Structure 1
Amino acid sequence: MAEQRTIVITGASDGIGAAAARQLTAQGHDVVLVGRSPDKTERLAEELGRPYHLADFVEFDQVRRLARELLDAYPRIDVLANNAGGMFRPQTSPDGFDYTLQINHLSPFLLTTLLLDRLIASNAAVVQTSSAMARGGRIDVAEFGTAGRRGEARTYSDSKLANILFSNELHRRYHEQGLSAAAFHPGAVASNFGAGASALVRYSYQLPLMKLFLVSPDKGGARLTFLAAGTPGETWQSGAYYVQSRPAKPVNSQAADPGLARALWERTEELIPTP
């Protein structure tokens, strides 16, 4: 086994997050669970004998509290897996943003930057759960963050494109200081994805034909495990986007635009209020 690592997984109470947590724990890593649901997260923590933290990414204050807890509890963080996310019907968060955009991009950005000094000191890897739906994303930095403008599916695509751009910019800014970053597509996973979306999206995702294209949470989780347990520069390359645990071409021409990645980072900093 590779050296034991402290691996923080958000969105760990269900789906690929829970599957990866089980796999990584079985490999002997110190897995830290972060979830929104108290019941689900506590049950998994009891099953695995692992510590857990609760945070709903729809509120920045909860993300800030989570960051403080992680910094207090873990002197070293070897991997941060930004896995929490989903597609939600158009609604506005307490912080004034679209639910999907805040949970999928803004809050993971905030958590990562709050932990950044610890991550750099740990020569850590930051893993972003993106999606092939980033193919349909389109980011206009000047309009980015405007709630409800593009509808739930398009906002989801935008947020998954933002995940890739964020990963690219993390690599550009901090790889020389020892930080590594990658984004990946887990596959279309048979999970509760879309549970918070509109009835049409939920129905479409549950169609019998759709099930033919879904992979199990264990298989999707294995793609997260591959990056979290792997070694940057050896088993995977920082700054890359992975599909089926292999480097893939960008799913969207914007995903390979370094100028857009820098501008999106700066825009995201503008959107998130500082204490």
Structure 2
Amino acid sequence: MTGRTVIITGGSSGIGAAAARALSALGAQIAVVGRNPARTQQVADSVGGNAFLADFGKLAAVRELADELLERYPDIHVLADNAGGMQRTRALTADRNERTVQETHLSGMLLTSLLLPRISQTATRSPEGSVRIVQTASAANLMGRISLDDLDTLSGPWADGWRAYGRAKLANILFAQELARRTEGTGVRVYSFHPGLVRTRFGSGAWSMSVLSAVTFGHYGLSAEQGAEPLVRLASADRITEPSGTYWDRLKPNGLTAPQAKDAAFARAFWKASEARLVPR
């Protein structure tokens, strides 16, 4: 990865921070994007990279972040869309989107769209298939069913945040698939992946995750380093034979997905519905 620039959102903790350390050890220049100033700077310092602050609950902040990244980096070889989380209570952002869908999907879509011209330019100067966009998705997508008329999960039970989270992770997969179609022939490869059940700060406010932690004395699941392994592989592997748009269950291609992830027409319709949310309202 020497000479390659990698941008990691949600890089201040968890698998984002672990991936930053692993990719830096391979020689990459790391841009660490996070919301918490102290943690983001700490991770950036530890990998000899640069820290960028952005609140993905504000689309204006994402636009400012894109401007800063484009000013700093003439080439972008890997964009890891890793930011997001699960909200215990239903709430809207200042942009009037449900927090889970905005912070986990819409803000990543906006950042990717703003950086895509630079990423595509980098692909023209790089070995075939080495420029990549990687989405952190989840097996929770299997719980997801997206209604184009209710992207904010305003109807039905909240279910401790799991319904909205499942939808948002299905959104990550649909976005990667449609982005792969739209970037075909440009040299940019797009992937999404499930990291596994990882023992991080994820879902710390949710009752279900608190119970899981309590009954296992905090020893459930994978370490952050293990959870980051698919991201690191997809970002750094010399050659990936699976087609752009593939969803990985950890290190295995073609993981299980909800039925809507198999519908290319729905992916296009969902893209348009999401795009409409990125216009200031």
Global fold match (TM > 0.5): yes
1:230 pairs with 2:243: no
SS in 1 for 2:52: strand
Whichever residue aligns with residue 243 of structure 1, its letter is: D
- 2:261 aligned to which of 232, 255, 260: 255
Counterpart contact for 1:98–1:148, Cα < 8 Å: no
Report the CA distance shift for 1:263/1:217 in structure 2 as closer, same or farther (over 3 A).
Answer: same
Shift of 1:205: 3.8
Partners of 1:139 and 1:110 in 2: CA distance: 19
- Asked if 1:161 corresponds to 2:167, the answer is no
- Are positions 1:271 and 2:277 aligned together? yes
Q: For structure 1, list consecutive stretches of 5 or more residues without a partner in the other structure.
A: none
Q: What is residue 246 of structure 2 aligned with on the other side?
A: 240
Residue 126 of structure 2 corresponds to none
Q: Which amino acid aligns with 2:10?
A: G
> TM-score, length-normalised on structure 2?
0.91
**Alpha-carbon separation, structure 1, partners of 2:194 and 2:157:** 22
Contact 2:30 2:47 in 1 (8 A): no
Tell whether 2:199 aligns with 1:185: no
Distance in 1, Cα, partners of 2:185 & 2:67: 26
Match of 2:134, SS? strand
Deviation at 1:57, TM superposition (A): 0.4
* Cα gap change, 1:70 to 1:250, in 2 (>3 Å): same
Identity %: 39
Amino acid at match of 2:202: F
Matched AA of 2:5: T
Aligned match of 1:107 = 107
| Equivalent residue, structure 2, for 1:171 | 180
Report the equivalent of 1:33: 32
Shift of 1:201: 3.3
Structure 1, 251-260 or 145-154: larger mean CA deviation: 145-154
Matched, 1:120 2:126: no
Who is 2:77 aligned against? Answer: 78
In 2, Cα distance between the equivalents of 1:264 and 1:150?
A: 22
The CA RMSD over aligned residues, in Å, is: 1.8
Gaps of 5+ in 2: 124-130
**How many residues are aligned here?**
271
Q: CA deviation at 1:246?
A: 1.7
**Following the alignment from structure 1 to structure 2, what is the Cα–Cα distance between the partners of residues 226 and 39?**
28
- How has the CA–CA distance of structure 1 residues 80 and 147 changed in structure 2, closer, same or farther, with 3 Å as cutoff? farther
SS of equivalent to 2:185: helix
Mapped partners of 2:156, 2:181: distance in 1:
30
